[in-house]
Structure 1
Amino acid sequence: MQHPNGSFLCSPSSTAYALMQTKDENCFRYLAGIVQKFNGGVPHSYPMDLFEQLWVVDRLERLGFSRFFKSEIKKILDYVYGCWTRNGISWSKDTIEFDIDDTCMGFRMMRLHGYDVNASAIQHFERDGQFFCFVGQNSQGLTEMLSLYRASQVLFPQESILEEAKSFSSNFLRKKQELGEVADRWLITKDLAGEVKYYMDVPWYANLPRIETRHYIEQYGGDDDVWIAKTLYRMYNVSTNDYLDLAKLDYNHCQKLHQSEWLGIQKWCEDYNLRDFNLYNDDLLKYYFVAMSSIFEPEKATERIAWAKTAALVELVSKYFKETSVDQKKDFIQAFNYGAKNELVEVILKTLSDISLEVRAVHGKEVYPDLKHAWNTWLMNLTIEGDNELVPNNEAELLVSTINLCAGHSSSDGLNSLPEYVRLTKLTNEICNHLHQTENFKVGKQNNCSEEKFDSIDLKMQELVQHAIKSNDEVDQETKRTFLTVAKSYYYTAYCEPTTIDNHIAKVLFEEVV
């Protein structure tokens, strides 16, 4: 029971009792050390290094400014990875009493950052189809089940333990919602009910970073969050008004930039007379919002704006091709490749030129030929005959290529021919084609598509997640993540009702954080 640091369960009170009974020198050394460290007082438990550091990373990421602390986060996750065991982790490296809360938080963080962690660690906390925080417990708390639910969504194919964990934790959380019992035994926080509602309403595949951050800023309690143990205590490295103030400043700064970009996109629409092609403002706003919610960082404006413009033009061309003959489609592609007169083609080529000039200014690379080649590949795919609703569109491939080119990559890098890149392209096209059809069916029928439809898509998403976040030397992580980013944006628009998306647009893009 005694840990290498001399404590019992890293608990000053338990260790003090053991010292009184045994006069053990290691107990005394542990107690003397923490009394000196904390100027005569002691916390209820020490150390709590794994718990504290993981929760710091979680807060930074959800509050939307973790990009400023990349090296610090890597250092933390390297440390946690070094403490990982086949049964997970505990709140401290010195403790062998593993718990599901820290294990799930660590698992999710490390997996999303490309570390090789095995989901079998979750099995340690399962008994008779139920999951518990500690082995031997007979009840569950809300926050550890929320951690389990969030971790279970980052699953790879054939990880049945995560499927079981997802089913159990989602049922547990929904039941608590129905009973109005959204309170926790470990934590008193500002809006735990709001956190649970958000994650139950928006699955991880549909969870876009800026939307999550906008909601979490309102839910985060800062200095007022209180943890429950032998006593009530606060963790100021995890819950602090400093984080909240910084999150608000950063969010509002980004929001002003995004609003300015939206004005610029409307001007682009007016300058190129896109209203004449029946491009409506609501549609244009949705294209920009999805791009902005997925790639929000100020330094990625080129990628974000190119995504939105490409999505808008893709929709115009798709509508045009649905209404034209095979010969007219061929004429359109010929005009695109050889400069024959066609008003919509002229808009596309001018826009590609604008984008390439911006990329050259930012990255010093010429990408116009690559952008045009990507468009030609997509246009050729549109000539496939069949049911307009069922013919594969492959527009996701065009979006991924555009984003990667705007990030400074080019076909001369040899990416497109790499087996891993080809596999990612195929998976993303399959997923997004199905999701695009799902969105069309949903709009046409004015209701949600069946759960079975999403279940089949989820299997492909699991495979894409595995390819996109696992580290390898063939394709760099940023490029691979682009495929997942685009796929999640399609999942979002297919999964969420139009009214939900409208509410998100109003809140995320136009409502200032105060």
Structure 2
Amino acid sequence: MALSLISLSNPCSFSRLLPSLLPSPTAPARRNAHMAMKITCSLSTHMLETTINRRSANYSKSVGDYDFIQSLKSDYTVHMYERQIEKMKEDVRRLLKRVDQPLAQLKLIDTLQRLGVGYHFKNEFKEALGNISTDESSMRMEGDLYATALRFGLLRQHGFEVSPDVFNGFMDEKGNLVASLCEDIEGMLSLYEASYLGFEGEIVLDEAKAFTIRYLKDFKEKKLDQDLKRRVEHALELPFHWRMPRLQARWYIETYVGEKDMNPFLFQFAKLDYNMGQATYQTNIKAVSR
């Protein structure tokens, strides 16, 4: 785009008026004749052509125009799968009641949350975690870093009081986390996630965060199990409870398929729930667009 600028040159010129050209002044006025001036203004203009090259981001055309949004459709509308999803939710509730071992309950709750279906079972989670928080057998998990960190993290996520002193059993005489913990990758990942649930002044959790981040970064550079490395890289980007639930659910559903203890029923349930959610979002955005 060419921007034309107007330049002013010699805007005004001043000249003295010779006394001979003045009318016959009186004596007092004659003394001030040299002060008389004639002011003439002259304006000359010329155009200065300046080309300014403006930057462009080269934006591509948006695919989300009206016609595209109205063309969205899904085979997973709520009315088509409502009965099936309700039946599957009841099956999960029965599964939660049937699992009676504290660690198995914790793993199941954690899996359901990561699959993005935990919002269906908030009351069941509260009940199970309430029992775990007062169960003496669940408190004696000091020898298992993974179990201890998982219990601590889930209780804090759901508003239960739990002290970071549960990690004292994993520290040496100087108050540092013992180096042997590095052999337990699952435990280190669980401790890393739990450390982000610490309150201000909880030094144990601050040290645990620094320790696990340093170790997990080193582990990421090693040529080991690719699925585990993928989980480590994902966790180091952001801890689980800082992420957007639906985006996290999609990532974990794809990851869950490759896990050794994958439950096919939970996998199918999570996929159906996710697709039904997407269908609802599409219906809403079409209505808003109209």
Gaps of 5+ in 1: 1-46, 91-96, 184-190, 227-238, 268-514
Matches within 5 A, 1:202-281: 202-204=238-240, 206-221=242-257, 225-226=260-261, 239-267=262-290
**Aligned mates of 1:171, 1:137 — CA distance in 2:** 14
Check conservation: 1:88, 1:99, Cα contact below 8 A.
Answer: no
Give 2:193's aligned residue: 150
1:164/1:192 Cα in 2 relative to 1: closer, same or farther (>3 Å)? Answer: same
Kindly indicate whether residue 235 of structure 2 is the aligned counterpart of residue 199 of structure 1.
Answer: yes
Post-superposition Cα deviations, 1:266-313, rounded to whole Å, max 9, x if no partner, equal: 33xxxxxxxxxxxxxxxxxxxxxxxxxxxxxxxxxxxxxxxxxxxxxx
Post-superposition Cα deviations, 1:407-456, rounded to whole Å, max 9, x if no partner, equal: xxxxxxxxxxxxxxxxxxxxxxxxxxxxxxxxxxxxxxxxxxxxxxxxxx
AA paired with 1:100?
L
AA paired with 2:274?
Y
Give 2:123's aligned residue: 71
RMSD, matched Cα: 2.7
Give 1:159's aligned residue: 202
**Aligned mates of 2:229, 2:221 — CA distance in 1:** 11
Check conservation: 2:182, 2:188, Cα contact below 8 A.
Answer: no
Check conservation: 1:108, 1:154, Cα contact below 8 A.
Answer: yes
AA paired with 1:257?
T
**Aligned mates of 2:154, 2:213 — CA distance in 1:** 20
AA paired with 1:149?
Y
AA paired with 1:251?
Y
Give 1:125's aligned residue: 170
Q: Report the secondary structure of 2:124's partner residue.
A: helix
Give 2:218's aligned residue: 175
Q: Which has the higher strand share?
A: 2
Matches within 5 A, 1:365-376: none
Check conservation: 2:181, 2:188, Cα contact below 8 A.
Answer: no
AA paired with 2:284?
E
Q: Offset at 1:118?
A: 0.8
Q: Offset at 1:204?
A: 4.9
**Aligned mates of 2:252, 2:115 — CA distance in 1:** 6
| TM-score, structure 1 normalization | 0.34
**Aligned mates of 1:106, 1:205 — CA distance in 2:** 15
Q: Report the secondary structure of 2:183's partner residue.
A: coil
Higher RCO, Cα 8 Å, sep 6+: 2
Task: Report how many residues are paired.
Answer: 191
Matches within 5 A, 1:94-493: 98-127=143-172, 128=174, 130-131=176-177, 137=180, 139-182=182-225, 191-204=227-240, 206-221=242-257, 225-226=260-261, 239-267=262-290
AA paired with 1:76?
A
Runs of 4+ deviating beyond 6 Å? none
Whose Rg is larger? 2
**Aligned mates of 1:170, 1:84 — CA distance in 2:** 31
**Aligned mates of 1:48, 1:98 — CA distance in 2:** 20
Gaps of 5+ in 2: 1-98
Check conservation: 2:116, 2:249, Cα contact below 8 A.
Answer: yes
